[in-house]
Amino acid sequence: MKIAIPVEENTLDAKVSSSFGRAAYFLIFDTQSDEARFIDNPAINSTGGAGILSAQTVVDAGADTLLTPRLGQNAADVIQDAGMQVFQSKEGTAKENIEACCAKTLKVLEEIHEGFHGHGNRE
């Protein structure tokens, strides 16, 4: 699996970000090679369409799985279109979430919140 997680710091011990669209970084973790890399989120200061740009970034990074506390409608459209699976992250670090994901203890993210017309985010 190639797992994407929004985080505020570029370490595996970073807490999962409470926002997808405005997270500082995306952790891309390859479960086969155990490799972790961090991408700067280009959407962090965007005036609108942050969710869309963040989703595009994560898709382009080759992730097939996304762990996130929440997701807006627009971002979800992009993620789902790309055929990625989305699980609801739990409180804790990125590392803990990766372990939970591999142990299949995370739930599929079901609640996609209403789009905010490119102007809002939910934290």
> 73: part of which helix (H) or strand (E)?
helix 73-81
Tell me the C-alpha distance between 47 and 12, whole Å. Answer: 29
Instruction: Report the residue number, 37 or 119, with the smaller CB distance to other proteins.
Output: 119
From first CA to last CA, the distance across the chain in angstroms is 27
The yes or no reply on residue 2 touching other proteins (CB under 8 A) is: no
Instruction: Report the residue number, 48 or 92, with the smaller CB distance to other proteins.
Output: 48
Residue among 69, 66, 40 at smallest CA distance from 55: 66
The yes or no reply on residue 23 touching other proteins (CB under 8 A) is: no
**3-class secondary-structure state, position 43:** coil
Q: Which stretch binds other proteins (CB under 8 A): 27-35, 86-94, 95-103, 114-122?
A: 114-122
The yes or no reply on residue 14 touching other proteins (CB under 8 A) is: no
| Chain contacts with other proteins (rule: CB under 8 A) | 22, 43, 45-50, 52-53, 55-56, 59, 74, 77-78, 81-83, 113-123
